[in-house]
Amino acid sequence: MTSVLLSVTDLCAGYGPIRALRGLTFQVAERETVAIVGANGAGKTTLMRALSGIIPLSDGEASFLGRNIRGTSSHHLARAGMLHVPEGRGTLQTMSVEDNLRLAWEIRPTAVTFGEALEKAYGRFPRLRERRAQAAGNLSGGEQQMLAVARALVNRPRLLLLDEPSMGLSPRMTGEVFLSLAELRDDGVAILLVEQNVRRALQLAQRALVLSHGVFAASGPSDELSRDPAIVASYLGQSHDAPPDNKRHIANDPRR
């Protein structure tokens, strides 16, 4: 059987007096793709931040590859293979596209040379090749999102934490991004995905967890959840392509 990458038990976290997460328990196995869905303010971003060590756990336990996440700093987790692509992308605006990619590649020594990794990323996102020397801050929102995903392609993490990768993207670019994610998934990268476009998220992931006010309200295999009338009513709505809430805010941008 596959082994557990990420193991979370009774996790609580928040911001001072605000208890955003109140006892979450779940696991992500190697090569598994798990989606987390939930309304705005449910605590999805907070969960990602707690897992990657940006904010401390106030209670409970979490471990990644056997390392206790409490007391392991963000950069150690990243080097161990957890790549958190935060809401608002976390690309380095003053650095060139290529420097962003090189930074992501350098951190994790792999057999792949930077040139090869770069070719692959540019092959997927030709726009980025055209803009390679541009500062990331001069890219359009969609191009920056491509850069954030391209960074994951060159970093080759064990576990990818993705917070709303389709935010601000056109339907066509959303398709491109999800194709890349499917490729990563098929290459064996485990993915924990937060996504407003629930339909797409459930297509990509094997299973999903529904987060509501800091606790899991439901969970199960994606195909079951996508047939669940309650889920359909709350998150899938009538429309077929547009996400239920195509928001563009970057209020929770972790960059200072």
Partner 1 sequence: MLVGLLINGLVSGALYALVAVGFTLVIGVLDKLNFAHPEVLMIGGFVAVVASGLPPYYAFIAAFATGGLLGLVVEFAAFRRFTDADAKITAGLASMAVGLVLTDLTQKVFGTESVSLPIGGGWLSRRFQIAGVEFLNVQIVIVLATAILTGGLHVLLQRTRVGRQIRAVAESPVSASLLGVNVLRVSQAVFFVSSALAAEAGLLLALRSGAASSDIGLTFGLKALAIMAIGGLGDLRGAMLGGLVIGVLEAFMFHLGLGRLSELTVWLAMIVTLMVRPRGLFSSGTHGLEQRA
CA–CA dist 243, 237 (Å, integer): 9
Beta bridge partners of 215: 212
Which of 25, 41, 93, 179 binds ligand ATP (CB under 6 A)? It is: 41
Which H helix or E strand runs over 172? helix 171-186
Q: How far is the CB of 52 from partner 1 (least distance, A)?
A: 6
CA–CA dist 66, 48 (Å, integer): 18
Which of 9, 40, 68, 170 binds ligand ATP (CB under 6 A)? It is: 40
The count of chain residues that interact with partner 1, using the rule CB under 8 A, is 30
Q: How far is the CB of 192 from ligand ATP (least distance, A)?
A: 13
β-bridge pairing 190-194 and 207-212: unpaired
Asked if 144 interacts with partner 1 (CB under 8 A), we say no
Q: Quick one: residue 236, left, alpha or beta (phi over 0 = left, psi -120 to 50 = alpha)?
A: alpha
Asked if 145 interacts with Mg ion (CB under 5 A), we say no
Q: Strand 159-163's sheet: what is its strand order?
A: 82-85, 159-163, 190-194, 33-37, 207-212, 215-221
Give me the helix-helix angle, 141-155 and 97-107, nearest 10°: 30
Site for ligand ATP in 5-34 (CB under 6 A): 15, 18, 20
Asked if 45 interacts with ligand ATP (CB under 6 A), we say yes
Which of 27, 40, 66, 75 binds partner 1 (CB under 8 A)? It is: 75
Q: How far is the CB of 127 from Mg ion (least distance, A)?
A: 26
CA–CA dist 202, 135 (Å, integer): 34
C-beta closer to partner 1: residue 29 or 103:
103
Stretch that binds Mg ion, among 79-87, 132-140, 142-150, 172-180 (CB under 5 A): 79-87
Asked if 56 interacts with ligand ATP (CB under 6 A), we say no
Asked if 43 interacts with ligand ATP (CB under 6 A), we say yes
For 75-130, give the secondary structure using H, E and C: HHHHHHCEEEECCCCCCCCCCEHHHHHHHHHHHCCCCCCHHHHHHHHHHHCHHHHH
C-beta closer to Mg ion: residue 42 or 97:
42
Q: How far is the CB of 253 from Mg ion (least distance, A)?
A: 10
Binding site residues, partner 1, CB under 8 A? 52, 54, 73-75, 78-79, 83-84, 86, 90-96, 99, 102-104, 106-108, 135, 151, 155, 254-256
